[in-house]
Structures are given as C-alpha cells and as structure tokens.
C-alpha cells in the first residue's frame, strides 16, 4: 500500500509542474516541476494570484481557461506561450523566442477555502512547437522561390472568399505568367530560366503589403491576392508590376527575347460560388493578355 506520505513524494517528483489553482486565479499549491532543464522552482507562487505574476491580458486568458474547465467538468487542453514580456517585474530584454506550453486543466471535486479548484499540468513543448512550425512552413512554401505554394494559396483564397461573403470586404486576384520561358530555357538554359522565375518572385515580394500574399501557382505562373483592394486599384498595381518586371529583368533579355510577364486581374464578385470561380475568371484574363501580345494586363 502506498501511504499518503509516499503519494506526496511521488507528486513532488513529477517532471512537469502541476498547479492547483482556484477559480479566482489563486495558486493554492505547486507540485512537481523537477525537470530542471525546463522549469524553475515554483513554490514561491503559492498564495499569489495569477494577476500578480503575469500581465492583465495573459492573466485573463488563464482565468478563462480555468472557468471553462470548472464549468465543463472535462479535461481541457490548451497550448500557450509565455515570454519575459508576459511576466510582471521582468525587463523586456531577454530571449526572442517565447516558451510554449501545453496545459492540461481538470476540475477537482473539492473546494479550497470555499472555492472551486483545478489541477493545471504544464508541459514545455517548445521543441515540438518549433518543429511543427518548421514543417508547416515547409509544407506551405515553394522550394525555388520561397513564396507560398499552391496548397497554401487555396487555403488563403478560401478564407478571403468567406470574408468577402460575410463582410463584403473585396479581394483582388492577379495571375501572372512569364512570357517566353521556353525560348529563354532553350537559348540560355533551364538554370537561367529558374533565375528569371526567382527574380519575378522577388519583385512580387518587394511590392506587396503585409496583408497581401503571393504564391507560385506552378511552373512560371504566380497568383497574388490583394485583400481590401478594388478592381481599379488592382489593375494599377498589376500595371506597375508588369513595368517593374520588364525593367528589372532587362539583363535576361537577349536575341530578341524579352523577359516579361502577362497579367490577368479580377476581384471576387457577388455571383461567385467559391474562390475557384474568381480563379477561373482571372485565368481566362491571363490568357487574353497572352493573346493580346504579352507584356500586358487584362482586367475582368
């Protein structure tokens, strides 16, 4: 039989810290946390409130999680970050990357000083979170250009379409295609063709706002989404982009072959059933630009 004393020793030896927290956010007890690679001694927290330890916005988040666990009476799991900027009394200087935790919060069936309490087990998942972030970036990124890939484009355009339907916030879509890529590859080699594609990606990137996205759609085609932009302004942006590409890629032009782009432009419309309707429309506009002689913009 394990005695109460033995059980207390077991709890105190747990690698991850376990907090007993009241509904009001008071630290009732701190157990475990013996993995010194990740955790400091938390015994000094006992008797304090969460609002004494972290800044108001973060403290309110913790209190919300506690309330949800107490109200639902079910195990609740939440991932969260903490940095020196969140903790009261610490200077803003410090490690650039926050520490990520997985919190497992379970309501307990007893009261402490008349208050409901939860058990909060905090596990440091920073390494796992960093790996997941790197994998997510890799899965969203085109290897050659560093722009988003087609999969990420589809995800973001679907979100922009939902925003358009719900809040009537427009999103303009540009589709551009490198003119004369085959001739460039045949004359200067595929390595030069890749350099041109990369150069176009860099030109696109340099002209975007933080809210805009650029994706390599495939081969030498790119898609740009411009949220909160009307058709006329999108066409002006496309014209500037077309001119910039021609000017900045002049060094790749040779033997009568110009490194330019053709661009189609559209915006999401009320009759669109999905973002794919807008994508088909801008694709048609792109090929009309090709038929019009290339190095031009067609807006529909």
CATH number at residue 163: 3.30.70.270
Q: Do 153 and 245 share a structural domain?
A: yes
Which tokens sit at 283?
Answer: 């694709």
**C-alpha 92: how far from its chain's center?**
24
Note the pLDDT tens digit of each residue in 184-241.
887 888 888 899 999 999 999 999 998 999 999 988 999 999 999 999 999 999 999 9
Contact between 217 and 147 under an 8 Å Cβ cutoff? The reply is no
Q: Is the pLDDT of residue 94 over 60?
A: no
Name the one residue in this structure whose structure tokens are 């909160």.
Answer: 228
Tell me the pTM. 0.63
Q: Do 177 and 79 share a structural domain?
A: no
Q: What percent of the chain lies above the pLDDT cut of 90? A: 66
Q: Is 124 strand, coil or helix?
A: strand
Rounded to a whole number, what is the largest CA-CA distance in the chain? 90
Contact between 240 and 260 under an 8 Å Cβ cutoff? The reply is no
Please tell me the predicted confidence (pLDDT) of residue 148. Answer: 94
**CATH of residue 128:** 3.30.450.20
Query: β-strands 261-267, 221-227: how paired?
Result: unpaired
Q: What percent of the chain lies above the pLDDT cut of 70? A: 96
Q: Do 174 and 100 share a structural domain?
A: no
As a 3-state breakdown, the chain gives helix, strand, coil percent values, each rounded to 5, of 45, 25, 30
Residue of 148, 176, 147 whose CA lies nearest to 242: 176
Q: Do 237 and 124 share a structural domain?
A: no
Q: Do 170 and 118 share a structural domain?
A: no
108 or 38, which is more confident? Answer: 108
Question: What mean pLDDT is reported for the chain?
Answer: 89
Q: Do 108 and 45 share a structural domain?
A: yes
Q: Please give the positions annotated as active site.
A: 220
Q: Do 67 and 149 share a structural domain?
A: no
- Full residue range of the structural domain in which residue 104 is found: 4-132
Among 84, 115, 132, residue at a domain's last position:
132
Q: Do 145 and 90 share a structural domain?
A: no
Confidence of residue 297 (pLDDT cuts 50, 70, 90): very high
Please tell me the predicted confidence (pLDDT) of residue 227. Answer: 95
Q: Do 69 and 33 share a structural domain?
A: yes
Residue of 198, 238, 239, 235 whose CA lies nearest to 216: 198
CA 230 to CA 232: how far, in whole Å? 6
Residue of 160, 152, 140 whose CA lies nearest to 274: 160
Please state, in angstroms and as integers, the Cα–Cα distance from residue 36 to each residue in 1, 20, 167, 254, following that order.
30, 20, 50, 64
| Mean pLDDT of the 4-26 span | 86
Polymer length of the chain: 300
Q: Do 280 and 165 share a structural domain?
A: yes
Q: Do 106 and 65 share a structural domain?
A: yes
| Mean pLDDT of the 12-23 span | 91
CA 108 to CA 74: how far, in whole Å? 10
Identify the sign of the CA torsion 35, 36, 39, 45.
positive
Please tell me the predicted confidence (pLDDT) of residue 218. Answer: 84
One-character DSSP codes across 99-119: EEEEEEEEEEEEEETTEEEEE
Note the pLDDT tens digit of each residue in 144-185.
999 999 999 999 999 999 999 999 999 999 999 999 888 888
Please tell me the predicted confidence (pLDDT) of residue 90. Answer: 58
Q: Do 195 and 53 share a structural domain?
A: no
Among 98, 132, 166, residue at a domain's last position:
132
Q: Is the pLDDT of residue 296 over 80?
A: yes
Please tell me the predicted confidence (pLDDT) of residue 136. Answer: 76
Which tokens sit at 299?
Answer: 């807006």
Q: Is the pLDDT of residue 8 over 80?
A: no
- Total structural domains within the chain: 2
């Amino acid at each position: 039989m394990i005695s109460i004393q033995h059980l207390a020793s077991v709890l105190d030896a747990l690698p991850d810290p376990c907090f007993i927290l009241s509904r009001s956010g008071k630290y009732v007890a701190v157990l475990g946390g013996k993995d010194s690679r990740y955790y400091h001694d938390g015994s000094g927290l006992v008797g304090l409130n969460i609002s004494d330890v972290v800044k108001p916005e973060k403290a309110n988040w913790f209190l919300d999680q506690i309330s949800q666990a107490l109200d639902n009476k079910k195990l609740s799991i939440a991932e969260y970050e903490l940095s020196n900027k969140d903790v009261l009394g610490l200077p803003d200087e410090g490690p650039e990357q926050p520490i990520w935790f997985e919190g497992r919060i379970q309501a307990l069936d007893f009261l402490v000083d008349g208050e409901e309490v939860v058990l909060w087990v905090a596990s440091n998942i920073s390494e796992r979170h960093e790996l997941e972030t790197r994998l997510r970036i890799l899965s969203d990124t085109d290897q050659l250009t560093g722009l988003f890939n087609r999969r990420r484009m589809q995800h973001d355009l679907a979100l922009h379409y939902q925003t358009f339907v719900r809040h009537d916030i427009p999103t303009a879509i540009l589709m551009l295609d490198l003119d004369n890529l085959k001739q460039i590859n045949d004359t200067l080699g595929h390595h030069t063709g890749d350099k041109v594609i990369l150069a176009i990606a860099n030109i696109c990137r340099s002209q975007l706002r933080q809210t805009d996205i650029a994706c390599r759609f495939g081969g030498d085609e790119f898609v740009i989404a411009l949220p909160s932009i009307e058709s006329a302004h999108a066409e002006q942006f496309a014209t500037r982009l077309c001119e910039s590409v021609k000017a900045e890629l002049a060094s790749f032009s040779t033997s009568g072959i110009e490194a330019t782009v053709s661009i189609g432009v559209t915006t999401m419309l009320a009759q669109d059933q999905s973002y794919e309707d807008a994508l088909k429309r801008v694709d048609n506009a792109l090929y009309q630009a090709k038929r019009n002689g290339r190095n031009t913009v067609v807006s529909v």
